[in-house]
Amino acid sequence: MNFLTNPLLAATAITDGWSKQQNGHSTLPGSAALASLFDPFGFGRAAFDYWRDSAERSILYLDVMRERGNQYLEHMEQTKPNVLGFDTEVLVDGRTLPRPTNYELLRVLPHEGTEIDQQKRPFVVVDPRAGHGPGIGGFKPDSELGVALKAGHPCYFIGFLPFPEPGQTVEDVVESEVAFLRHVIELHPETSEKPMVVGNCQAGWQLMMAAALEPDVFGPILIAGAPLSYWAGEHGKAPMRYTGGMAGGSWITALTSDIGNGQFDGAWLVQNFERLNPANTHWKKQYHLYDNIDTEAGRYLEFERWWGGHVVLGGEEIQYIVDNLFIGNRLSTAQLVTHDGRRIDLRNVRSPVVVFCSRGDDITPPPQALGWVRDLYEDVDDIVANEQTIVYCMHDTTGHLGIFVSGSVSRKEHTEFTANMDYIDVLPPGLYETSVTKAGTGEDAELYERDYLLEFTPRNFEELDQEVKHKPEDDRRFATVARISEINLGMYRLFLQPWLKATMTPEAARWIRRMHPIRLGYKLLSDRNPLSVPLPVMADAVRKNRHPVSQDNVFKTFESMGSDQLVASLNAMRDLRDANTEKMFMDIYGQPLLQAAVGLHGDAHVHRRRPGAEPERRRFVEQRQEELRAKIASGGAHEAVMRSLIYVLGGAPATDERNFKRLRASRAELEPGIQLSEFKRLVREQFFILKLDREKALNSLPTLLAGHTNDDIDGYLSHLEHVFAASGELSEHTAERFEQIKALFDKARPSKPATSQPVTEEASAEPTAAKPAATRPAETAAKPDAAKTTSKTPTDTEQKGEKTSATNEPASEESAKPGSDTGRRKAPRKR
C-alpha cells in the first residue's frame, strides 16, 4: 500500500542495497561487486541519488507552497492582520478620531524577562503602507522594536488595517500620526523628552510631513529607506524613477483605482517591486528554498506572511502620493499646501533627522533618500540658520528590505541609533555623516558600552553632492513628465473616467482584485485546490524517509551551476531592459520640441528650485541674532565650559559617543538636576553664539568666569581635558584650539593687587563676583567690575575697545601654561 501511495518508497526499496552499501551496512550479498561491475565510476549511483533527492525536494517544496497559500488565506481573513513578533494592546483606534483613518496606535508588550524603564524616552515605530501589511519593523527579536525593548525603552507601534476608511486622505493619516504621538507624550509625563520616531520606507515621508506641521511632538526622527526626493538619482541606477514617465503620468493610477471602484489594490505596488529584480522574484528566492528545503521552510514562510499580506489603499490617497511625490516631487521643494492653507515645509522640522540608506538599495537609493537636503538648502550654513540637525548613515550592500528587516543591520546600526538618541538630540545644528565601527579596547574600554561605536563627522555640500549626484539637466526632463502627466490625467478624467465609474460595481472590483496574478498565485497552491490533497501525505512520508544528496554529488554541482547561469541570464536581461528604459526616457523627455509643447523649453529657472524664505522667517532670524548677541557675555561657568567644548570639538574631524558619555556623566557635577531638554538648549545656544561672532564669544570667556577661584578654573580645564581625551589624542588643529581656551581661562584667574595701592572701603567688602556662578544672577556674573576692585583686570582692554583676537598667541610662553602663576593676579584680600 505504501508503494502505491508513494512511488518513491518503491524506488528506495529497489536501490536500498546501494545506499546501505555506501554507508558500510550492506545487507545484500555481492551488491558492492555487482554495482562496481555495471557502474565502475559511480555515475549511475550518483544519478539515482540525485534523482531521488530532487524528487523528494520537489514534494517538500510543493508542500511548503501549499502551506504558504493556507497562511495567505488565513492572514487575509483576519480583521487586524499584522506580522509583529510581540504582543500588543490597542491604545487609540484611528477610526474614532474626528477625521477617521484605518490607522491605530499599539502599545508593544515586552517578552518575559525584559525590563522597561518608564523614565526612558518612548520609542515609536511607524510601518510603511506600500502594498504590504504592518509589522515588518518588529516581526522578529532582532528588529527595530526588539532593539528598543532590549534597551529598556517603552515602545509603541503605529499600524493600519487592510482597508481604508471612506474618504480617507494622506492629510488625515498625517493628522492621525500626530494625535497618536500626543497620546504617547501624555502617557509619559515623568519624562520631558519627546518620543523617538522611526519611519520605514513610505512611512518616512509621512513622518516628515507630520513633523513639518507639528514639530513640537517629535523627538529624534529616524527615516530608514525613505524616499523624499523622487527626481534624484544616478544614471544607470534607480530605474523606478522612470516609471511615471514611461507610463505617461499618473492617469494609469487613476485607472487602476477606478477599476477597483475607488480602491487601489496594493498588490500592484508589490508587483512593481518584484519587477525590479526578476532573477530573485522568478528563480533565486524560490530556488534557495528548494535547494535548502530541509532548513529554510520556516524562514521562508515567516517572510512570505508579510510579503503576501496585501492591503488596499484609497484612490484619493494613492493619487495624491503619485501626483505630488512620485511625479511632482513637491514635498522636497515645499510646494505642498494642506486643505486648510498650511504649507508643508521640511525646514520647519526642529528635531534631529537621521537618514539611513544603502548603496545596495534600488528602491530608495542614497540620492532619493538625501536629495531633499540639496533641494531645500543652499549650503550647510543654511541648515544651521534653520536650526536643523541632519545626520545620514549609508550601508554599503544591504537591499531595501534589509535596511529595516536584516538582523545584522538591527544588531549593528539600529542598536547604535537607539543607544545614541540622546547624543543625536544634542548635536549642534549642521550636516553630519555617521559611521558604525568596531569598538576597541584599552584604557578607555569602560566607555564602550556595546560592540560597536557610532562616530559623527561634519560634512559639507561638496561631500554630499558625491552621493546625491544632482544633474540640473535631468530636472527639466522630470518637470516635462509632470506637465504631461497633468495633461494626460485631465484627458482621462474628461473622456474615460465617467464611463468606468458608471459601469464598475463593488462586486466586479472584488472579483478583479481576487484575480490579480500575485494574489492568484497564493490561492492556487492551497488546500482549496483539490489537486493539493495528496501533498501533505506524500510530504510526511518523505520526511520520515528522507535521503538528502551530498553537496559533492556531480549532478548537484551541475544543478548549482545551471542555477547560477539562469540568474546571470535574468540579470543580464534586467540590465538591458533598465538601460533601454533609461535611454528612452532621456531621449523622449529631453526633446526640445516636447519641452516647448509643455512650455518648458528655454525656461532658465531650475525646475527643482529651492524655496525662498518668507519675510517673517527673515525677521525671526534677525530677531534671534539680536537676542544671541545680547547673551554673548551673559551666563557663568556652565556657559563658558560648553562654549569652549563646542569650539574645540568644532575643529575636530569627527566625534563619537564617548565624548557625550563623559559629558553626560559630568553634567550632573556642573549643574545638578539639569534636564536633557535644558542641556540641549544650552548646547544649541552656545553653538549659535559661536557661529554668530566667534571672536567676541571667545573673548567673553574671562567675563563668564569672573570671580571663580584658581581651583575652580583648574577644575573646568581638567573637565574639558577629560572629555576631549575620550575619543583619543587631539589632532594638531584641535590641540591649538584647546591652547587658546587655556589662555583665555587663565585671563579669568583672580589677580593680586599691587602693595603700594591703597585699599578702598569698597574693595574691603565681600566681592559679589566671588559668589558661585550657580547662586548669583547671570547679569551679575557677566560684569567683571561687580567687585569694584582697584586692580586692573584682563578685561579692561575689551572695555576700552581693544578686542583681543582669539587666534593670537599668549603674551609669553609661560602664561600659556595652565599651571603657571605668571600673568595671574591673586584675589584681593579682605582687610
Angle between helices 637-649 and 657-670 (to 10 degrees): 170
Q: What are phi and psi of 23, to 5 degrees?
A: -90, 5
Q: Encode pLDDT of 179-220 as tens digits.
A: 999 999 999 998 888 999 999 999 999 999 999 999 999 999
pLDDT band of 31, cuts 50, 70, 90: low
Specify the pairing of strand 103-109 against strand 87-93.
antiparallel
Asked whether 185 and 179 are in contact (CB, 8 A), the reply is no
Asked whether 608 and 474 are in contact (CB, 8 A), the reply is no
Q: Is 673 left (phi over 0), alpha (psi -120 to 50) or beta?
A: left
Q: What pLDDT, on the 0 to 100 scale, is given for residue 608?
A: 60
pLDDT band of 30, cuts 50, 70, 90: low
List the grid coordinates of 192: 520631558
Cα–Cα dist 570/79, whole Å: 39
Q: Encode pLDDT of 542-564 as tens digits.
A: 999 999 998 889 999 999 999 99
Residues 6+ apart with CB under 8 A from 123: 145, 148, 153, 154, 155, 156, 195, 196, 198, 418
Q: What pLDDT, on the 0 to 100 scale, is given for residue 168?
A: 96
Handedness of CA 527, 529, 534, 535 (dihedral sign): negative
* Cα Rg of the chain, angstroms: 34
Asked whether 203 and 127 are in contact (CB, 8 A), the reply is yes
Q: Which of 764, 641, 637, 776 is CA-nearest to residue 706? A: 637
* Strand intervals (E) in 649-788: 655-656
Range in 161-175, 230-244, 425-439, 657-671 with the lowest mean pLDDT: 657-671
Cα–Cα dist 504/263, whole Å: 12
Q: Is 318 left (phi over 0), alpha (psi -120 to 50) or beta?
A: alpha
Q: What are phi and psi of 691, to 5 degrees?
A: -70, -35
87-229+329-470: CATH number = 3.40.50.1820
Residues 6+ apart with CB under 8 A from 138: 84, 85, 86, 108, 125, 144, 145, 146, 157
Q: What is the mean pLDDT of residues 324-335?
A: 93
Residues 6+ apart with CB under 8 A from 321: 170, 202
On average, the pLDDT of the chain sits at 82
Residue with cell 542614497: 366
Range in 253-267, 453-467, 600-614 with the lowest mean pLDDT: 600-614
SS3 433: strand
Cα–Cα dist 360/370, whole Å: 15
Asked whether 180 and 101 are in contact (CB, 8 A), the reply is no
Q: What are phi and psi of 357, to 5 degrees?
A: -140, 180
**Residue 788 in this model has a pLDDT that exceeds 70:** no
Cα–Cα dist 639/211, whole Å: 30
Q: Which of 253, 97, 228, 218 is CA-nearest to residue 168? A: 97
Cα–Cα dist 544/615, whole Å: 78
Q: What are phi and psi of 63, to 5 degrees?
A: -70, -35
**Residue 442 in this model has a pLDDT that exceeds 90:** no
Percentages helix, strand, coil for the chain (3-state, rounded to 5) are 55, 10, 35
Length of the chain: 831
Residues 252, 254, 257, CA angle at the centre, nearest 5°? 110
Q: What is the mean pLDDT of residues 443-472?
A: 79
Q: Which of 5, 45, 339, 285 is CA-nearest to residue 172? A: 339
Cα–Cα dist 144/199, whole Å: 10
| Alpha-helical regions (H) of 532-553 | 535-544
**Residue 160 in this model has a pLDDT that exceeds 90:** yes
Residues 6+ apart with CB under 8 A from 829: none
Helix H or strand E encompassing 799: helix 796-799
Cα–Cα dist 424/516, whole Å: 45
Task: Enumerate the β-bridge partners of residue 200.
Answer: 224
Cα–Cα dist 139/536, whole Å: 27
Residue with cell 538630540: 425
Residue range(s) of every CATH 3.40.50.1820 domain in the chain: 87-229+329-470
Q: Encode pLDDT of 397-406 as tens digits.
A: 888 888 877 7
Cα–Cα dist 398/392, whole Å: 16
Cα–Cα dist 310/265, whole Å: 8
Angle between helices 43-76 and 7-14 (to 10 degrees): 160
What CA–CA distances, in Å, run from 337 to 126, 214, 238, 275, 343?
Answer: 23, 14, 28, 34, 4
pLDDT band of 730, cuts 50, 70, 90: confident
Q: What pLDDT, on the 0 to 100 scale, is given for residue 810?
A: 37
**Cβ–Cβ contacts within 10 Å for residue 773, how many?**
24
List the grid coordinates of 248: 505617461
Cα–Cα dist 277/273, whole Å: 8
Q: Encode pLDDT of 790-824 as tens digits.
A: 333 333 333 333 333 333 333 333 333 333 333 33
Q: Encode pLDDT of 239-298 as tens digits.
A: 999 999 999 999 999 999 999 999 999 999 999 999 999 999 999 999 999 999 999 999
Q: What is the value of pTM for the model shown?
A: 0.81
Asked whether 267 and 610 are in contact (CB, 8 A), the reply is no
Range in 423-432, 519-528, 600-609, 804-813 with the lowest mean pLDDT: 804-813
Cα–Cα dist 826/755, whole Å: 12
DSSP label at residue 355: E
Angle between helices 267-276 and 517-524 (to 10 degrees): 90
First to last CA, the chain: 117
Task: Enumerate the β-bridge partners of residue 432.
Answer: 391, 458
**Cβ–Cβ contacts within 10 Å for residue 776, how many?**
16
Q: Which of 4, 25, 176, 150 is CA-nearest to residue 98? A: 176
Q: What pLDDT, on the 0 to 100 scale, is given for residue 800?
A: 37
Q: What pLDDT, on the 0 to 100 scale, is given for residue 825?
A: 36
